[in-house]
Amino acid sequence: MPQFAANLTMLFTEVAALDRPGLAAQAGFEGAEILFPYDYPAKDWEAALAGLPLVLLNTHPGDWAAGDRGFAAVPGEETRFRDGFLRAADLAARLGAGRVHVMAGVAKGPQAEQVYTDNLAWAAAQAPGLLLTIEPLNSDDMPGYFLNDFDQAGRIIDDLGLPQVGIQFDLWHAARIHGDPAAVWARHKQRVNHIQIAGFPNRNEPGGGGFDLTGLCAELDETGYQGWVAAEYRPARATVHGLAWLGALKARSRLIGA
């Protein structure tokens, strides 16, 4: 059975950020991911996450309110990207996170792709023990974001040829971009090193949308997937009151694997 992580940026927001890991562990999650854990000192996160592994964090996006969404693909921002990546890699090492999502930023065109691939190759060389993820984000939620197509991501990964770099398969974004997330999964599953799930069409609790999550878990077991399945969704009500999906998915996975 795959291991499940809670996205603590979106779940358990009923309490302060540093109190969320404890609630996630109590709810049955085996790990956590945090989009931008930069608002608190690392020592505070170390204490808060005691006993709950942090599995992924993002590179710093820059000034979100001003429209920044990372810098990996932004021409002229190479120094800013590299400084930010080293900061993320250092924090990941301190907190024990094995993956960093490298945010591409708002950019377009061949020059942006060259900058992106150069920066990814550089980042992989700087942190050889760290897995890097790239995540296509749909253009409605993230206008102008450079990486906005899973086939684009697959081509970039193949061109790089670095096992360290993989796709962050977000079920929600796959459905929004391509319409059929199952087909996207079938095309790119061999490139995936992190998975995020949510319900469709409202990005609430996982389930529905024509995607077989139980089948996915069984397939992950069969293929020996070593990554995590992260719950990244907007709870329709208090987080703890909407976790029936987690228990049901674990129970079905145990039955299938029995």
Tokens of 136: 């296509």
* Gap between the Cα atoms of 98 and 41, Å rounded: 19
Radius of gyration of the chain (CA): 17
Say which residue the tokens 């077989």 belong to.
212
Nearest to residue 57, comparing CAs of 31, 83, 34, 32?
34
* Gap between the Cα atoms of 256 and 93, Å rounded: 35
Which residue type does 104 have? A
135 given a catalytic annotation: yes
Q: Which residues contact 135 (CB under 8 A, 6 or more apart)?
A: 101, 147, 153, 167, 168, 170, 173
30 given a catalytic annotation: no
* Gap between the Cα atoms of 91 and 54, Å rounded: 11
CB burial readout 30-64, b (16+ within 10 A) else e: bbbbbbebbeeeeeebeebbeebbbbbbbbbbbee
Catalytic residue, chosen from 77, 113, 205, 232, is 232
Catalytic residue, chosen from 77, 113, 135, 205, is 135
User: Which positions are catalytic?
Assistant: 135, 232
